[in-house]
Amino acid sequence: MEVNGYAIEPGSNLFAANLSSAELNNAPLRSAILCSASLQGATLEGATLCAADMRQAILTDASFEKAQLAGANMSSSFLYRANLTEADLRDVLLGEAELGEAVLRRADLRGADMRDSKLEGAVFTGADLDDTRLEGAVYTDDTLFPAGFDPAKAGMIHA
């Protein structure tokens, strides 16, 4: 599969690639390098991005609905308004990521590291946050959590 001249396959080196608004549904990108890539507004529904390196990627308004992202490194990425509904985010590194207004309904975040991330207005309803590291993550009154979740107990900061 090729998109915008880039090979879309497991292990692809897409460092700083411009894939804005690309249609990448069900794309096989396991272990791909997407550091500093722009996927703004891209559609990656059902895509496989397990163990992908997505540090500092621009993922604003991207859709990862039902995507497989287990073990991916998304540290310091921009996921503002991203749709991660029902995504597999187990053991994902999201430290210092920007997830303002992101939708993570029914996402599996078990074991994810979200320390120091920005979660203003994010939606976590129905998400599995068991063993998720959230110390220092910033949330607001508009941030929606699963029933019974206590952000203060998780070490989060209210802004």
One digit per residue, the tens of pLDDT, for the chain of length 159 reads 899 999 999 999 999 999 999 999 999 999 999 999 999 999 999 999 999 999 999 999 999 999 999 999 999 999 999 999 999 999 999 999 999 999 999 999 999 999 999 999 999 999 999 999 999 999 999 999 999 999 999 999 999
> First-to-last CA distance in the chain?
44
Which CATH number is associated with domain 1-152? 2.160.20.80
Separation of alpha carbons 50 and 30, rounded Å: 5
**What residue ranges do the domains of the chain occupy?**
1-152
Total residues found in the chain within this entry: 159
In the three-class reduction of DSSP (H, G, I as helix; E, B as strand; rest coil), residue 41 is classed as coil
b (16+ CB within 10 A) / e for 40-69: bbbbbbbbbbbbbbbbbbbbbbbbbbbbbb
